[in-house]
Amino acid sequence: MPPPVILNGAQRSEEFVSIDRVIMALIKDKGICIRSTDYSESSQILTFFTLSSGKISLIAKGSRRTKSPFSAPIEICSVADLVYSLRENEKMGTLTEFNPTFFCIGIRKKLLALNAAFFAAELLNLSTKEHDPHPELFEQSVLLLQRLDENPENKVLPFLILFELSLLMYAGSQPLTDICANCKRKFDANWKQYYFSLSSGGLVCRDCEPAFIDKKILPYEAALILNNPQKIFDAQKNSLIQIEKLLIDYMTYVLEKKPRTAQMILQLIRTTV
């Protein structure tokens, strides 16, 4: 067997093609742990959202042993420099190094922030495909974790909503919020009443709403923030809660399943924010 070749995640696919004798590569990347399942007595099967390869599945052999070969416990939402081996034509690689660069210490002390981080991790897992990189979404995800870590609980909802809108954009399901999703009339304050239809994928004006049985009425401020998310930090608490409920409904519609962690977010935003 030829010795493994160490590659950056971004180079991997070209190297596999160009070096025909490489049957195993060691790949360096940055990743966020978005899912963890115990495997046997001592190991974990992990899903990482990585900078260069998108979502990947890795086995961490011995990670649950007292004398783990890894430098730190591998927990959901940890951000780390990774090294993993991957054989050609195999989907699941083997984690060989895990060096955390961000531990979520502040997040783990705050109930809403912690659950928002778990929710974001589940959304990343449900919304992305394996080996389909989105470096900007990776950067946005790390930014969300940093914001949740550093800010008080009353800032969680604005940052979470901004992340959800980014995620929907990168997943190609961005809701239409600058025009009526049906008649294409431009959004403005003269609409008088504002609706959102899950099936039409966006805001719907008063003239069009009777045709959409799934429409939900939206207060002007909630519609305005969807139209211009930069205004989110001036929003009333009620508008933020309405937008978050709407986005959970919309993502459930797009994903065709309700994220498992959504219910806890819905409970916490009523009592914590």
Interface characters, 199-238, with Zn ion (x: CB under 5 A): ------x--x------------------------------
Q: Does 177 bind Zn ion (CB under 5 A)?
A: no
Cβ–Cβ under 8 Å, residues 124 and 55: yes
- One of 180, 243, 246, 251 touching Zn ion (CB under 5 A): 180
Q: Binding-site residue total for Zn ion (CB under 5 A)?
A: 5
**Between residues 68 and 182, which has the closer beta carbon with respect to Zn ion?**
182
**Between residues 107 and 226, which has the closer beta carbon with respect to Zn ion?**
226
Which three-class secondary structure string do you get for 168-198?
A: HHHCCCCCECCECCCCCCECCHHHCCEEEEC
Contacts within 8 Å (CB) and 24+ apart, 172-177: 173/201, 173/254, 175/201, 175/202, 175/203, 175/226, 175/250, 176/200, 176/201, 176/202, 176/203, 177/202, 177/203, 177/223, 177/226, 177/227
Stretch that binds Zn ion, among 1-9, 54-62, 178-186, 219-227 (CB under 5 A): 178-186
Q: Does 182 bind Zn ion (CB under 5 A)?
A: yes
- To Zn ion, the closest distance from the beta carbon of 56 in angstroms equals 43
- To Zn ion, the closest distance from the beta carbon of 172 in angstroms equals 23
What's the rounded Cα separation, in Å, for the pair 236 and 198? 23
Question: Which residues contact Zn ion by CB under 5 A?
Answer: 180, 182-183, 205, 208
